[in-house]
Structure 1
């Protein structure tokens, strides 16, 4: 690769060049979308979260990352959500994308993110850099009339707006902590306020639940629904389903484990949209300490990690899990340690069974007994996201 290529922070005077590269990657934006893109880009630039690769003075690749938190087994873990990865066509296949993403990993680690996640346009480059599948984004479809019939009329439901953003975040947090959820993102309150202020979104609030939905063509689409009880779940789904005289179908971004699958009389339509996202650990000890683990699970295990792109993760470690919490500490090498690379570590963190990781060549060493204990500690409900970024 050309030594003249440099990893750079994107600046105001380079945004036109980035937009040209983006147009060659994703297509030309409409006028209104361009203004929003520029507004968002300046926010990322101010915090050092918009970076690129330049050949001389010309920007030829760029990427940005969101400052999110993500739920893992009912606890919030900071995560850098990588998005907008673009490389100019004439530079593809020359190592530019890898140079860009290695810079992103280092920048995100420098900013204190123990995890990074993304939706891959291709898995090849990201797997070479240590990412592996962490979960999915699922969209199910239900007959609107089935939802309308769920009842819940005894539950008071009112319209919600931007002034309810703080309560929205409280309800979502309570639900994910209670259910030990893995995967959903925690958006900043400013973004939630703007979302609830959008007149295209319809939000309704109960004492222990909230729903936000909108029109998607001739269908209704649920973007998020949380409920603290069966009665509230029925009331909120029935509120959406009340549009059945116009909309035949309700699409819903939800977990495959959501209770609505057990509440509706008929199963969801067979056509399920599923987008997979990838995960990577940038700071293994911090990521383990921040994550929740299965209550009652106890594990003492030696791990040997080999992570060439994040050397701080490499080495011999001892993992201790007890009382729903974990700790990863440096230790002396052990002949019976479980050996993982960054992809295997990401898979384990996301709850992928050790037997699957071994079958893919992503784990070795250890023992059958250790595998069972680690599976118990790490595995829970299916990791999922509601948002595409």
Structure 2
């Protein structure tokens, strides 16, 4: 078996067919297969590896060079996607081999973190990934926002097709990526698909001349739903401006369905607002996202608490080692081993859980992620306070 990186053009014959079989309805009509070429510009600098045997591609994996905010620092991030195996070559370890190579290549290229949506979380947990909160969906009737229709709110709304509204929307998401923990953005060549498809409406709320909230959405039909990909807001006022816009659709749609961050509380947006807020996970195609750390020293500078502990990371090809983690200056400092400092032993998933803020130190032994004595747990709890990462990624 040979592992190699394929060119953009080779994706048409070596990767796309495997990925289409794994994730799409099949077999597709020939004319649908021909349309795959249209996707090449949006995968320009993706790293795609294939495992070949006798000239046949047996498995493929890809990484998209994204950016992600981790505790206040915007890092290059490897977004893993397109993990697919030939139906006659499954259960032979090809994905394990390819994924290990892919993550190593991305780390060596300067990507200290990685994220993905798994087909099965337990599989990727063995590669050091830990689960992140899944974004929610809230459903409400625009009629419940009637009080906002005539409200005099300071600010203005701009309504456009996604082709023309792309620049403002993209600039706003880049701003949020610099500010919000867990937020991720695709590279420009991938994000350009929003402009090229021109398949959404975009409404932006502007306060003082600056974009303060945005929503890309589509209408599913008259009397049906207004479906918002992600409701992106920065202040209560900017959120109210978007809700006011949705309220004006009261005689057009029955429901508004919007993607929201896991820490949003839409039941508190307005009085007498009836909401259904839910997040469902299901194997294989509705799992929560996962993330992991690929390089510990690169995390230096993250906004952390004043804790101080030594963490020994074990059983991982990328970050195994012993690290002194010091947050007494408000920003993470990473050093070598030091005696006399509270110490914990973790695997990569356990360490990643602390960095991303999704588990308490006391959770880690219960999940089989390592050993955390009480003194080390107290320091790590202070060093890495719980946080709610919002893994937004432009569609």
TM-score calculated relative to the size of structure 1: 0.85
1:336-351 to structure 2, matched below 5 A, reads 336-351=342-357
Which residue of 1 is the match for residue 89 of structure 2?
91
Tell me what 1:252 maps to.
258
Task: Indicate yes or no: 2:111 matched with 1:113.
Answer: yes
Name 1:298's counterpart in structure 2: 306
| Separation of aligned partners in 2, 1:42 and 1:166 | 18
Q: Is the 8 A contact 2:76 2:113 kept in 1?
A: yes
Partner of 1:72: 70
Instruction: State the alpha-carbon separation in 1 of the partners of residues 32 and 256 from structure 2.
Output: 27
Q: Which runs of 5+ in 2 are unaligned?
A: 282-286
Q: In terms of mean alpha carbon deviation, does 375-384 or 104-113 score higher?
A: 375-384
Pick from 15, 19, 27 the counterpart of residue 18 of structure 1.
15
Q: Which protein is richer in helix relative to its size?
A: 1
Over aligned residues, Cα RMSD in angstroms? 2.9
- d(CA) in 2 for partners of 1:23, 1:176: 30
Shift of 1:326: 0.9
Gaps of 5+ in 1: none
Residue 166 to residue 66, structure 1, CA distance change in 2 (3 Å): same
| CA distance in 2: counterparts of 1:150 and 1:210, whole angstroms | 18
Query: In the alignment, is the contact (CA less than 8 A) between 2:185 and 2:392 conserved in 1?
Result: no
* Counterpart for residue 370 of structure 2: 363
Between the aligned partners of 2:22 and 2:256, the Cα distance in structure 1 is: 32
How many correspondences in the alignment? Answer: 375
Structure 1 pair 172/41, CA: closer, same or farther in 2 (3 Å)? closer
Provide the C-alpha distance between the structure 2 equivalents of 1:84 and 1:162, rounded to a whole number of angstroms.
27
Q: CA deviation at 1:37?
A: 3.7
- Which residue does 2:391 correspond to in 1? 385
Q: Are the counterparts in 2 of residues 80 and 116 from structure 1 also a CA contact under 8 Å?
A: yes
| Structure 1 position 320 matched with structure 2 position 326 | yes
Task: Provide the rounded CA distance (Å) in 2 between the counterparts of 1:222 and 1:333.
Answer: 53
| 2:179 pairs with 1:168 | no
* Cα-to-partner distance string for 1:234-292 (whole Å, 9 max, x where unaligned): 11122123222222111111113236442133352154445401112111111x22543
Structure 2 counterpart of 1:8, from 4, 15, 23: 4
> Aligned pair in 2 of structure 1 residues 177, 100: CA closer, same or farther (>3 Å)?
closer
Residue 275 (structure 2) pairs with residue 268 (structure 1): yes
Q: Indicate the SS of the match to 1:370.
A: helix
1:158 equivalent in structure 2: 158
